[in-house]
Amino acid sequence: MAAKILVVDDDPNFQRLLTYTLKQEGYEVVVAGDGAEGFRLWGAESPALMLLDVMLPKLDGYQVAAKIRAEEGPSAHVPIIMLTAEREVEQKVRGLRAGADDYLIKPFHPAELLARIKSLLARFAPTETLVGRPPLGRILVFYGAKGGVGTTTISINTAIALHRELGRKTALVDGNLQFGDHRVFLDLGLDRKSIVDVVTAPSIDVDLVKQVLVRHDAGVDLLLAPPSPETAELVTQEHMPIVLEHLRSLYDYIIVDVDKKLDEINLRVLDAADTIFVVMTADLSCLKNVRLVLETIANLGYEQDKVRLVLNRSNAFTGINVKNAEGALKRTIDHQVVNEYRGAISALNSGAPFMFTKADSLLGRSLLDFARVVDKLPTTSTARLPNITPRRGLPGPQFGEAASWTAAESRLPGRNRRWAEDSRRSGFARTVCTWSNPHVGQADNSDRDEEREQQSGDAQRATLECLGPKLPLHWLLGCQAGQPAQPPDKSQVSRAG
């Protein structure tokens, strides 16, 4: 039986367009021209989903959503997609707080609307309708706190482990659209199809996505990044949710490897994720970035259990151990992957991932253990637009030094620029971590020194308190444990710089 969708919009042309689009997909459509009629038809027709415009006569969309949510009974939980031409975040947050489950800004692509409708209907479907039907796949996003922490290595090998060792049907998406490395890591040529072949088609459907996927010898299906940076511009923030929703219907797991920019495309990917794995290493620069990432994710309104920290190269000696890192981040590190750097580089250069050729190696066993833990994570999806805190934008295209903030602010929309200015004036979030290094402020470029330091066992411990952004982090070294850092004198600055 076709799902019934209630369209509440006062624009006759838009009513006709939505009605045609929905009926083409087999849905039954009921139309209301104002908020009061929409509320009445909701009670009389018991629709499976509502498309609710904001600017309506008699009762606006916010009032209609709030009245429905205030009612009792199963119909009060009808999924609502709010439609509006308003682009301000404040309007979006108001709609979500009124009870909307999703929010679309006009004009939008019909394919995106249909993908969101299907996703919500599947999520809110009664249990009895799901008997005999495979569940929707889980989207796992791997986000590197900075470049070079091993995000691509972990994401690729996790995908292979989930498929080869655990029998899960897995897709791997290269979300680094400009400079994705999956072709290199997996020894695939530039002639292979990519996401560009999806987004440049007249319409995006599940059959098209299946045709573009590339099957690796390990059994994992790949959606590759564009072959060149200029073609990456063809992929927009509207495309990614559509593609990911289609992949949900085909696979148990969709592994997405994204770069560290938190632009609109990546934010839409994070919105769609069931779990976000922030990959990090135990160095001061990375810890600073992780703190910023966690604070930003909190501002976006994601639930805390949606984000998990992965410490890569956990057994590498960096002077900061796991306990120190957890103290700096004020949260537990959820997963650890061991260090086998030479083997990882060798696998990269040969185009043969560990889990495909050396699954019994130290790194291979560590990645398999990680995949097993991932497979046992709770299946309750938090993949939906946040409905708690407004998205307030970010200070620049990616996390970097404080000095770059001012230049980045000038390129931001007004509301994001104001937030960036406020953040810069108040300073970076307070970061406290423990450093173990007897050669504070001095360069240490030899393996001999690192080995000698590791064996000494009596390295000094110094507390760093970064109040930024006026001083670079590495200037704030050498203070006594438990005491706040003081601004350096000239000799410290010259030695550190």
Residue 239's CATH number: 3.40.50.300
Q: Is 72 helix (H, G, I), strand (E, B) or coil?
A: coil
CB 142 within 8 A of CB 155: yes
Please report, to the nearest 10 degrees, the dihedral formed by the alpha carbons of residues 472, 473, 477, 479 taken in order. 100
| CA distance from start to end of the chain | 70
Show the domain range for 409. 402-496
Phi–psi pair at 264, nearest 5 degrees: -65, -35
Q: Is 130 helix (H, G, I), strand (E, B) or coil?
A: helix
Run of H or E including 310: strand 307-312
Residues 6 or more apart in contact with residue 77 via CB below 8 angstroms: 124
In a domain? residue 397: no
Structure tokens at 147: 């470049």
Examine the domain organization and report whether 189 and 335 are in the same domain. Answer: yes
In a domain? residue 457: yes
Q: Among 130, 165, 189, where does a domain finish?
A: 130
Examine the domain organization and report whether 119 and 147 are in the same domain. Answer: no
In a domain? residue 430: yes
Examine the domain organization and report whether 298 and 358 are in the same domain. Answer: yes
d(CA 419, CA 134): 43
Q: How many domains does the chain have?
A: 3
d(CA 182, CA 105): 33
Predicted confidence pLDDT, tens digits, the chain (497 residues): 578 999 999 999 999 999 999 999 899 999 999 999 999 999 888 899 999 999 999 999 999 999 998 887 777 889 999 998 887 777 877 888 888 888 888 888 888 899 889 888 877 765 444 444 455 789 999 999 888 888 999 999 999 889 888 888 999 999 898 898 888 888 887 788 899 999 888 888 888 999 999 888 888 899 999 988 888 889 888 888 889 999 998 899 999 999 888 888 888 899 889 999 999 988 888 899 999 888 888 887 788 889 999 998 877 666 788 888 888 888 889 999 887 767 677 767 766 777 666 677 888 888 889 999 999 887 655 554 333 333 333 433 344 433 333 333 343 444 444 444 444 443 333 333 333 333 333 444 444 444 444 443 333 333 333 333 333 333 333 333 334 444 444 443 333 33
pTM: 0.55
Helix-helix angle 264-272:239-248, to 10 degrees: 20
Examine the domain organization and report whether 64 and 194 are in the same domain. Answer: no
Examine the domain organization and report whether 242 and 294 are in the same domain. Answer: yes
Examine the domain organization and report whether 114 and 259 are in the same domain. Answer: no
Examine the domain organization and report whether 308 and 358 are in the same domain. Answer: yes
Examine the domain organization and report whether 104 and 193 are in the same domain. Answer: no
Examine the domain organization and report whether 307 and 267 are in the same domain. Answer: yes
Examine the domain organization and report whether 94 and 119 are in the same domain. Answer: yes
Identity of the residue numbered 464 = L
Classify strands 4-8 and 28-32 as parallel, antiparallel or unpaired: parallel
CB 291 within 8 A of CB 209: no
Examine the domain organization and report whether 368 and 468 are in the same domain. Answer: no
Run of H or E including 138: strand 138-144
